Structure 1
């Protein structure tokens, strides 16, 4: 799933490609992906791209005051094409294409564009056309951005106290609490902080709080810096190659050499290092424990 660093890198890449260029048309290939109807998709036709920004994990293309907002969900992605087909994209259940943004550039012989795609059968990609990004419910309820200057250690302390005994893993990845962190980077942050994912949010002492705050800022900041300047086609590989524990079940922890473990968590799974994070003790897989009773 694309998270804050990947979406930020996409924003930087697309800003350089799109700002100052006109949108010729937007073809919708997956009708279920479009979540709004007013203004219509055609309101983007003939507009000029003014900026590309990010709201948490939402990507926002501002075109003459009309916003094309995209949430890539679990398996969505954006691919730049130097030349798109002349015929409009058509619905096709076997094709991962959800929508195509066609760019009008009179200086080019070919017509470039963006393909918004989603792999797999579990569809969650969402496209919104709005006059104000705050009209998108997911954006309106976002928590603070962890890389914003306003996200201070005190802000984090207040968040953790407000969430009480909730497990810190779930708190970090809840978008209405902290924007942009998902399953992968919450694993990476907690590994960097040497903290159990099941630790209660309000149980951190002052040293723990400082360690977690630094881990959040450095883990996300380093990922953004590594991704900066990369084309969209390179971002997935860059992310995977730099993860310490997430998606590395059974492999050696790059810090201590212990075996990375996995447990079920909410609607997914988490990975962690017992030596680095839980005093050497494996965490119980609570979902499995329920099945065995």
Structure 2
């Protein structure tokens, strides 16, 4: 089955709760990793049906992290203290692993040792999501899953890549990573992460992952990008990391030069949804796609 995880800087859990419900209905994820939740009183906030909330409280105006975990999963919370906002859950599937949601505020004093100490609490494979130090990846054996797509629309109306996903090599070798086209009310794009596992759950979530349309590929540009990325990345003596690096070069080049099919998903099914709201959303998405082409033209070159 597809083990689907959504990573999203929600920019206010309560303010964006209706959009969160819509996102869940669209993708039916097993886990949601949320940042900048601004949750102060966890017992007084709504929680989506069939999910359990694990959260770390924050100040009213910034910070805070959470994990929403589907009740069909067998999990346990792992207490971590890294000097920044972080929550962790350990999942029991065919391969036991941990999911971490982390947020490091721009003004927080922080060293990479803090993050290293959090990750070295056990030898269990880990998937780390959130706004964290990307330079940590170059000094560790963890693999960056990001494919170069923008994840954040800044106040200067520019697109940036501040949301990071990285994992232990054993998880990266059988995973996909892509961003939603819609902001869903936040200033960060939801990130869809698929891990492929045969672990059976009581609730099966069916969806198909995007497939590259190779007949429409720009192979000349693909070769140029692959060569460019190869020259930027240093070889590694770690065979797992080297394999993951080669895969990253291929996937990153493919995302920019080969169009993909759209993954199938369930229609919006929240009680308050109607045709007028659907028409307004479709119009908003269409206008956003037009604006995005101007902000980030290189992702629409094909």
Whether the TM-score (by the shorter chain) exceeds 0.5 is no
Structure number with greater Rg is 1
Give the alignment's TM-score, normalised by structure 1.
0.26
